[in-house]
Chains A and B, each alone.
Chain A
Amino acid sequence: RKEVEQDPGPFNVPEGATVAFNCTYSNSASQSFFWYRQDCRKEPKLLMSVYSSGNEDGRFTAQLNRASQYISLLIRDSKLSDSATYLCAVYSSASKIIFGSGTRLSIRP
């Protein structure tokens, strides 16, 4: 079983829709969690950190469920510019971060 798993998608949703995807992790001792965004043929960039209490940044909400060992990302009122691949990342140990394979999101007009 992979340490970090994501549904690869693609998720194809209309502009303005709400979309959510999850990421599961296997190491129950993991402490820190993140969502990265990667545009086509570009490098990954940090989108947001995921805190135990959940956190929101504009249209984006990230949540952590320690009991079930998953993190989620919710995007409200999706825009065309949200089309990208979203990678979850889990801080393993000694500054080592494990990335999921990514979920592709495509927003259609």
Chain B
Amino acid sequence: DAGVIQSPRHEVTEMGQEVTLRCKPISGHDYLFWYRQTMMRGLELLIYFNNNVPIDDSGMPEDRFSAKMPNASFSTLKIQPSEPRDSAVYFCASTGQGDYEQYFGPGTRLTVT
């Protein structure tokens, strides 16, 4: 298995632009998680899905952030409009039913100027 796949790996954009991050979970995993990591705040859970349904989005910072999972093999995290304070590494992770280990993708390093 290729593991969790994320794209792009790096994204540099200007303030106000829309940013879309993509994730392909490990095949067969029922849960998908989006995290954001910064030096100041550490690794924060933004939202997670179970069987493509959003379960908890309480970590989504504000309405500028949205996430979708149209099918079991694909999810997006969108920021519109982006702001410099959104600069961070965004990780996607997946896990299977009854499995506590989370498998992380390589992350997307986002810089908003």
Contacts and interface: CB of A to CB of B under 8 A. Distances in A.
Interface of A: 32, 34, 42-46, 49, 87, 89, 91, 94-102
Listed from nearest, the 3 A-B pairs whose CB atoms lie closest are A101-B42, A43-B104, A99-B43
A19 B24 CA distance: 37
Interface in B36-94: 41-43, 45, 48, 50, 55-56, 91
B41 A49 contact: no
A94 B55 contact: yes
A95 B104 contact: no
Contact of A46 (B41, B45, B55, B101): B101
Contacts of B35: 99
Contact of B100 (A34, A42, A43, A45): A34
A105 B101 CA distance: 22
Nearest to B38: A101
Interface of B: 31, 35, 41-43, 45, 48, 50, 55-56, 91, 95, 100-102, 104-107
Nearest to A93: B56
The DSSP consensus for interface residues of chain A is strand
A44 B101 CA distance: 11
A98 B107 CA distance: 18
B43 A46 contact: no
A96 to B, nearest CB: 6
Contacts of B31: 95
Nearest to B40: A101
12 contacts: A43-B91, A44-B43, A45-B104, A46-B101, A94-B56, A95-B31, A95-B48, A95-B50, A96-B45, A97-B100, A101-B41, A101-B42
B95 A43 contact: no
A38 to B, nearest CB: 8
A9 to B, nearest CB: 13
Given A43-B104, A97-B100, 17 more contacts: A34-B100, A43-B105, A44-B43, A44-B91, A49-B100, A95-B31, A95-B48, A95-B50, A95-B55, A96-B56, A97-B45, A97-B102, A99-B35, A99-B42, A100-B42, A101-B43, A102-B43
